[in-house]
Structure 1
Amino acid sequence: MVAALGEIQGGFRIFPYKGNVPALSDLVGGQVAMSFATLAPALPFIKGGQLVPIATLGKTRAQALPNTPTLAEAGLPGVEVRNWTGMLAPAGTPLPIREKLAMQVDRTMQSPTVKTMLEAQGLTYTRMGPDAFDGFIRAESIKWKKVVDQANIRAE
């Protein structure tokens, strides 16, 4: 989910969005005051001068925005959000097949063409084998379940 902050009757309210495109459209159009967005779709607006980055949410500064501080550097330590994409296979897929697929994906992602394309979008590739990726997904699920529970977020 993507969220944006908008002014309403002298105060501010968080508005949920069903993706970056509508949130960024409202942000550029002035309907909301700020938004948390994935870097890739926001980058053209930043480069075009329509948006100003305040902070990135990673552990380290984004390669595409080296002069933009992390949220921790900007004074809010302990908040780290990592946007990730991964390749999944059906449960029960034998480990040798998963390892072979991971190796092929790694080879593709390391190619100069793909690396250049990713960098242009402000993205970085991190290789994780099947076991490491499984552990990462489990850790992310636990982390975000705590956030959802603490904020008392409920599906509508």
Structure 2
Amino acid sequence: MKTAIHHLASRRHWIGLACAALCAVASPLAWAQDYPNKPVKLVVPYPPGGPTDIVARAVAQKLQERLGQPFVVDNRPGAGANTGAEAVARSAPDGYTLVVATTAHAINPALFTKLNYSLLKDFAPVSQLTSGPLVIVANPALPANNVAELIALAKSRNGGLNYGSSGNGQSTHLSAELFSAMAGVRMTHVPYKGSAPALTDVMAGQVDLMFDTMLSSMPHVKGGKLKALAVTSAQRSAAAPDLPTVAESGLPGYEAIAWNGLLAPAGTPKEVVARLNTELKAVLESHEIRQRFEAQGFAAAWSAPAAYGAFLQAEVDKWAKVVKASGAKLD
């Protein structure tokens, strides 16, 4: 009798373990099929109106249409884009809190003496979103209309020329530092909390110039409130084919680009990441989004999660060298 009871208990034990194992496998799959079943928060670590915010809102709208749940943009600027990134790194890894990363997040590991998160360890890469050049824009009254004249003016003023950026350590900051180092000039850096307020001061004449994304700058150029001197990519941009590159108009060898991408907290189920990646592929390959981004100087740039992870590693390594050469450091 005892033996029979023992065998029955043992059998129930192994059946229970088998069911638990099956549930462990099935649960993420079921979760992914059901995802999302509530609003998704898309954290943008910059103020409203800037290039990252513009990209995020366009992508959020399309994801909402495809997945049937609100994708809510949550602007959390501060600390060189680290405030928003850290908040997402500490969020539940369930796919309902995501962050739109930028070139700045690849720069920050070398720039900041202490970060409370790791770009490469605390996030699960989902996909790159965009890639594109920066453009040097200036107040229309600035007495320089091309790169050669800008370099000459900067040398004559010896630090008296100032430039705005979307924040310390952003691509809009270090691309200008790279320019200054290669041109052998000194310019004074004026950091802002995002591109939008910086551009406002350039247009008002409070700041002389800025290295900014075409997405946020070119509408003001077309409106006559800013003048564009050059793009920072190796080739001219299809969005402004008459605008020369920095390299061809006075500073050979210069190149700097900006990008956006989507990250989830580390530990987010792979099935959820894969679902997001699949939907993003459809969004970024749509004619509407491609046209919308390309008209502003950005290219839609979908990538598989593993490829985006490799890209992030390469970006961290590349910008570490630029930061070291510039001598820039932030606490």
What range describes the TM-score normalised by the shorter chain of this pair? 0.7 to 0.9
Please list, as runs of the form range in 1=range in 2, the aligned pairs for 1:1-156 lying within 5 A after superposition: 11-12=160-161, 13-93=188-268, 95=270, 97-156=272-331
Alpha-carbon separation, structure 1, partners of 2:318 and 2:298? 22
Alpha-carbon separation, structure 2, partners of 1:10 and 1:148? 20
Alpha-carbon separation, structure 1, partners of 2:322 and 2:308? 21
Q: What's the Cα RMSD here?
A: 2.8
How many Å apart are 1:151 and its aligned residue? Answer: 1.6
Alpha-carbon separation, structure 1, partners of 2:159 and 2:298? 37
For residue 264 of structure 2, give the secondary structure of its aligned residue in structure 1: coil
Alpha-carbon separation, structure 2, partners of 1:57 and 1:95? 36
Higher-Rg member (1/2)? 2
The one-character-per-residue Cα deviations of 1:9-63 (angstroms, maximum 9, x if unpaired) are: 9833222222211221111111122111111111111111121111111232222
Shift in CA distance, 9/98, structure 1 to aligned 2, threshold 3 Å: closer
Query: 97-106 or 25-34: which moved more?
Result: 97-106
Query: 54-63 or 69-78: which moved more?
Result: 69-78
Alpha-carbon separation, structure 2, partners of 1:95 and 1:74? 46
Q: Which amino acid aligns with 2:305?
A: P
For residue 36 of structure 1, give the secondary structure of its aligned residue in structure 2: strand
Give the paired residue count.
155
The one-character-per-residue Cα deviations of 1:89-137 (angstroms, maximum 9, x if unpaired) are: 3324455553443222011111122223223333211222112211111
Aligned-residue identity in percent: 37
Q: Which runs of 5+ in 1 are unaligned?
A: none
Query: 20-29 or 96-105: which moved more?
Result: 96-105
Greater relative contact order (Cα < 8 A, sep 6+) = 2
Alpha-carbon separation, structure 1, partners of 2:285 and 2:210? 32
Alpha-carbon separation, structure 2, partners of 1:137 and 1:59? 20
2:109 aligned partner? none
More helix by share: 2
Alpha-carbon separation, structure 2, partners of 1:112 and 1:85? 19
For residue 190 of structure 2, give the secondary structure of its aligned residue in structure 1: strand
For residue 121 of structure 1, give the secondary structure of its aligned residue in structure 2: coil
Shift in CA distance, 77/10, structure 1 to aligned 2, threshold 3 Å: closer
Task: Give the TM-score, by structure 1 length.
Answer: 0.82
Shift in CA distance, 112/29, structure 1 to aligned 2, threshold 3 Å: same
Conservation of the 8 A alpha-carbon contact between 2:289 and 2:300: no
Shift in CA distance, 94/143, structure 1 to aligned 2, threshold 3 Å: same
Task: Give the TM-score, by structure 2 length.
Answer: 0.42
Alpha-carbon separation, structure 1, partners of 2:276 and 2:235? 29
For residue 247 of structure 2, give the secondary structure of its aligned residue in structure 1: coil
Q: Which runs of 5+ in 2 are unaligned?
A: 1-79, 81-103, 105-136, 143-153, 162-187
Alpha-carbon separation, structure 2, partners of 1:61 and 1:92? 40
How many Å apart are 1:84 and its aligned residue? Answer: 0.9
